[in-house]
Amino acid sequence: MKALNNSELASFSSQMALILRSGISSVEGLSLILEDTPSGEGKQILEHVLHSMEETGSFSRALESVKVFPSYFCSMAEIGEQSGRLDDVMESLALHYRREESLSRSIRSAVIYPLVMLGMMAAVLAVLLIKVMPVFRQVFEQLGAQMTGFPAAVLNLGTALGNYSAAFLILAVAAAVICIWLFFTENGRKKSKSFAGKFFMTRALSEKISCSRFASGMYLALSSGLDVDQSLEMTARLIEHPDVHEKILEIRRCIAEGESFEDAAARARLFTGSRARMLSIGFKAGAPDNVMKQISEQYDEEIEEQIDTLLGRLEPTLVAVLSVAVGLILLSVMLPLLGVMINIGG
């Protein structure tokens, strides 16, 4: 069975939170969800969880046994059981994974849309070079003229593309497979995140996304009753960005030496500017979970705005590049053709 995605985790958490808040036990709640679940892999997972819980009496162990829930999810469920706040934890997990899904959708749209546009541009240019340019060559030959210079180079390029079309088709299919692997498989997503964290154009956005996940994870852990050190330990599992992960480790080292969390975060420069001040005020006011939630929401708004801005600039840029490329190719042929026809007419 494959691991559950963010949307499925959010749905399950939300249903469990509603059931537990209604005073229904975890076993009865799982039975109710199971009754409304259609046949398939989801039903098999719930059956496995229910059977394991009836044997062990532990909700978190039952989740771990099925091996489709993230370790973070199972750990938070265990904390909820031990503290008697499983309903609150499930509700917080539902919010956390809904935000993760929203963030993932924004990232996918920011990456997939330009790739689709580039694919369309390549297809249009290929048709123009392979199918349209030979027609112009025939016209030139019928008029007793030869294509030279840039038009001849473009025609030769189209001929080469036509001769090796099978090879280019294989390359296109390979590129599509690589894109699918990068965006729709677990290992691929890890590779793409690692690349985004190092690439100069996406490094800042990738770090901002990791900071948002850190703040969201800290809010969830702190609101579930964990202390700061335990929250840091658990939230570190969510962060794959190497720089942000190193800053979290530095914060833990500073706290171990006796510093407060807000001072350690300022020293590590995890949060800067207004967010650092918010963090300091929130911890001094005794509301660390609320300030973490506010910081995460601020990051989410900035990330969404940055992605929208990026897409807003990419669309007209790609359309302009395609228009210029097509225009240059056509003009390179039409202008000499027009000169030949004028000479014939003269």
* Residue 2 identity (one-letter amino acid): K
Instruction: Write down the pLDDT at residue 200.
Output: 62
Yes or no: say if 54 and 31 are a contact pair by the CB < 8 Å rule.
no
Burial of residue 40, with CB atoms counted within 10 A of its CB: 0-12 exposed, 13-18 middle, 19 or more buried: exposed
Per-residue pLDDT of the chain (346 residues; tens, 9 = 90+): 677 888 888 999 999 999 888 888 888 888 888 888 887 888 888 888 888 888 888 888 888 888 888 888 888 888 888 778 888 888 888 888 888 888 777 777 777 777 777 788 788 777 777 777 777 777 777 766 666 777 777 777 777 777 777 777 788 788 778 877 776 666 766 676 666 656 666 677 888 888 888 888 888 888 877 888 888 888 887 787 888 888 999 999 998 888 888 889 888 888 888 888 888 888 888 888 889 889 888 888 888 888 778 777 777 887 787 788 777 777 777 777 676 666 665 5
- Kindly state whether residues 163 and 130 are assigned to the same domain: yes
User: Is 191 contained in some domain?
Assistant: yes
Instruction: Write down the pLDDT at residue 38.
Output: 83
- Kindly state whether residues 123 and 174 are assigned to the same domain: yes
Burial of residue 245, with CB atoms counted within 10 A of its CB: 0-12 exposed, 13-18 middle, 19 or more buried: middle
- Kindly state whether residues 90 and 124 are assigned to the same domain: no
Instruction: Write down the pLDDT at residue 340.
Output: 65
Q: What is the DSSP letter of 238?
A: G
Residues ≥6 apart with Cβ < 8 Å to 261: 228, 251, 255, 279, 283, 288
Count how many residues are written for the chain.
346
152: domain range? 101-346
- Kindly state whether residues 24 and 45 are assigned to the same domain: yes
User: Is 44 contained in some domain?
Assistant: yes
Residues ≥6 apart with Cβ < 8 Å to 202: 196
Instruction: Write down the pLDDT at residue 211.
Output: 87
Contacts 24+ apart (CB under 8 A), 317-320: 318/114, 318/117, 318/118, 318/121, 319/117
Count CA within 13 A, CB hemisphere, residue 73: 26
Q: What is the CATH number of the domain that holds 316?
A: 1.20.81.30
User: Is 161 contained in some domain?
Assistant: yes
Helix, strand or coil for residue 272? Answer: coil
* Last residue of one domain, picked from the residues 77, 98, 119: 98
User: Is 298 contained in some domain?
Assistant: yes
Instruction: Write down the pLDDT at residue 184.
Output: 67
**Residue 341: closest CA among 136, 130, 133, 131:** 136
* Last residue of one domain, picked from the residues 82, 98, 114: 98
Angstrom distance (rounded) from CA 62 to CA 51: 8
**Residue 77: closest CA among 69, 68, 86, 65:** 86
Alpha-helical regions (H) of the chain: 6-21, 26-35, 41-56, 59-66, 71-83, 86-127, 133-142, 149-163, 165-184, 186-198, 203-223, 228-235, 242-256, 261-268, 274-284, 288-345
- Kindly state whether residues 320 and 171 are assigned to the same domain: yes
Instruction: Write down the pLDDT at residue 187.
Output: 73
- Kindly state whether residues 75 and 219 are assigned to the same domain: no
User: Is 1 contained in some domain?
Assistant: no
User: Is 66 contained in some domain?
Assistant: yes
- Kindly state whether residues 175 and 322 are assigned to the same domain: yes
User: Is 168 contained in some domain?
Assistant: yes
User: Is 138 contained in some domain?
Assistant: yes
- Kindly state whether residues 77 and 123 are assigned to the same domain: no
Count CA within 13 A, CB hemisphere, residue 8: 13
Number of domains in the chain: 2
Residue listed under structure tokens 């690692």: 194
Q: What angle do CA 99, 100, 106 make, to 5 degrees?
A: 90
- Kindly state whether residues 209 and 285 are assigned to the same domain: yes
Tokens representing residue 259 in the block: 């510093």
- Kindly state whether residues 159 and 188 are assigned to the same domain: yes
- Kindly state whether residues 117 and 84 are assigned to the same domain: no
- Kindly state whether residues 208 and 249 are assigned to the same domain: yes
* Last residue of one domain, picked from the residues 68, 98, 128: 98
